[in-house]
Amino acid sequence: MIKNRIDLIDYVSMISPTQAKFVFRKPKLSYISNIYVLPFDRNVWISLGALIALMTVALFILTKWEIIKMRHLKEKDSTYINQTTSIGNIFFLTVIAVCQQASMVLPSSIPGRVATVFLLISLMFIYVSYSANIVALIQSSSSNIQTLEDLLNSRITLGVDDTVYSRFYFPNAKDPIRKAIYEKKIASQGKTGGFLEFNEGLKKLRAGIFAFHMELGPGYKAIGEQFTEDERCGLQEIDFLNTIDPWYAIQKNSSYKELLKIGLRLIRESGIQQRENNLIYTKKPRCSLKNVFLSVSLVDCYPLILLLIGGIITSFFVFFSELYFNYKSATTNMNHVIFIKEAQN
């Protein structure tokens, strides 16, 4: 039902409640945001940083106190003193505790050991809570895509069922967001222009990270027959055309208008229309699974891979920097020795 047809035809009655929408599987939460910063609230992260800073300072003070005590008592064992006299070594010890790793050095005094045990116990509970939340978040799907604007700004690829009305409505969209969706995410897809055959669009929809604009009745029928139970869960719809259900149309000012209108209303009131629609148009499949298992992919590990690569690059940079400065220092000392010998001669 569009304005251009009002002067030519009469709309008699709505006969079939069918619509066409973008249908897509909810993307994994890790595809939308970094799940490794989501387990804790911002205040918890701040509190954790404050705890690490406080315990680093406390262990540093206790270590210095141990050094003074050992010197005062003229202790001969200075292994621990040589390894943990700097704030950097104490901070590294705290980072090891955060990562739940073993440390080769521990404070020897009772106050230092009490502080270390308190740090390890606190971080153990934080580590358990963080790990449990990460497991839950990896298995979660995102519900952030609710509007056409969200769909436009997402990384989801779009496709449209190649029908006559799709070829008409999408290029003639006037709304800025709808127009941007067509130009940026549909028309820019090469030769096909984002218009796909029905079965091809379903294959991409099943693979995920793809939204397919199709008629819901036959689309959900094919989904119910081809998709597995876990693939049918998490389906979401977004309306693009923003049109009402189709109506039965006849010639303008036709003498059969009242007869058809009365007959179609009788069919609707008797329940025949509803029965036929239920037989022909398939509704959205229900998800009977309470827990859907999602395998871990590279998208979930992407932030960790970046962290690992960054750490490797940083370690090589520090390594070569140390080699350079050691070489410069050795060259300077050698030149100094040569200068002294020449001066003595």
Query: For position 201, which CATH number holds?
Result: 3.40.190.10
Q: What is the distance between the alpha carbons of residues 85 and 159, in angstroms, rounded to a whole number?
A: 63
Mean pLDDT computed over 189-200 = 83
**Does 288 fall in a domain?**
no
Report whether pLDDT(80) > 60: no
Q: What is the dihedral of CA 266, 268, 270, 274, to 10 degrees?
A: 160
Q: What pLDDT sits at residue 277?
A: 85
Domain of 309 in residue numbering reads as 299-345
Q: What is the distance between the alpha carbons of residues 295 and 273, in angstroms, rounded to a whole number?
A: 44
Q: Between 334 and 308, whose confidence is greater?
A: 308
Q: What pLDDT sits at residue 315?
A: 93
Q: Residues 88, 187: one domain?
A: no
Q: Which residue has the tokens 């969706």?
A: 181
Lowest mean pLDDT among 133-142, 177-186, 278-287, 290-299: 290-299
Q: Residues 164, 266: one domain?
A: yes
Q: What pLDDT sits at residue 78?
A: 47
Q: Residues 88, 118: one domain?
A: yes
Q: What pLDDT sits at residue 122?
A: 86
Q: Which residue has the tokens 């001969």?
A: 76
Q: Residues 23, 153: one domain?
A: yes
Q: Residues 165, 110: one domain?
A: no
The two structure tokens encoding residue 326: 């050691």
**Does 292 fall in a domain?**
no
Q: What is the distance between the alpha carbons of residues 110 and 103, in angstroms, rounded to a whole number?
A: 17
**Within 13 Å and on the Cβ side, how many CA atoms surround 303?**
11
**Does 287 fall in a domain?**
no
Contact 227, 23 (CB under 8 A): no
CATH number at residue 94: 1.10.287
**Does 267 fall in a domain?**
yes
Lowest mean pLDDT among 87-96, 199-208, 308-317: 87-96
* CA distances in angstroms from 313 to 178, 310, 317, listed in the order given: 44, 5, 6
Q: What pLDDT sits at residue 293?
A: 65
CA 278 to chain centre: 37
Domain stop point among 89, 120, 138: 138
Q: Residues 147, 272: one domain?
A: yes
**Does 202 fall in a domain?**
yes
Q: Residues 118, 78: one domain?
A: yes
Mean pLDDT computed over 326-336 = 76
Q: Residues 92, 232: one domain?
A: no
Report whether pLDDT(35) > 80: yes
What's the Rg (C-alpha) of the chain?
35
Q: At 79, is the pLDDT very low, low, confident or very high (cuts 50, 70, 90)?
A: very low
Lowest mean pLDDT among 19-33, 67-81, 98-112, 239-253: 67-81
User: Can you tell me whether residue 311 is helix, strand or coil?
Assistant: helix
Q: What pLDDT sits at residue 314?
A: 93
Going by C-alpha positions, the residue among 120, 180, 171, 188 that lies closest to residue 150 is: 180
Counting the structural domains of the chain, the total is 3
**Does 315 fall in a domain?**
yes
**Within 13 Å and on the Cβ side, how many CA atoms surround 107?**
26
Sign of CA dihedral 171, 177, 183, 184: negative
Q: What pLDDT sits at residue 85?
A: 57
**Does 159 fall in a domain?**
yes
Q: Residues 235, 150: one domain?
A: yes
Write out the E strands in the chain.
9-14, 20-25, 157-161, 195-196, 210-215, 235-238, 247-251
The DSSP code for 4 is G
Percent of the chain with pLDDT over 90: 9
What does pLDDT average to over the chain? 82
Q: What is the distance between the alpha carbons of residues 225 and 108, in angstroms, rounded to a whole number?
A: 68
Domain stop point among 226, 245, 280: 280
Q: What is the distance between the alpha carbons of residues 156 and 204, in angstroms, rounded to a whole number?
A: 11
**Does 73 fall in a domain?**
yes
Q: Residues 16, 158: one domain?
A: yes
Q: Residues 147, 109: one domain?
A: no
Q: What pLDDT sits at residue 313?
A: 94
Report whether pLDDT(316) > 90: yes
Q: Residues 147, 177: one domain?
A: yes
The two structure tokens encoding residue 322: 């140390």
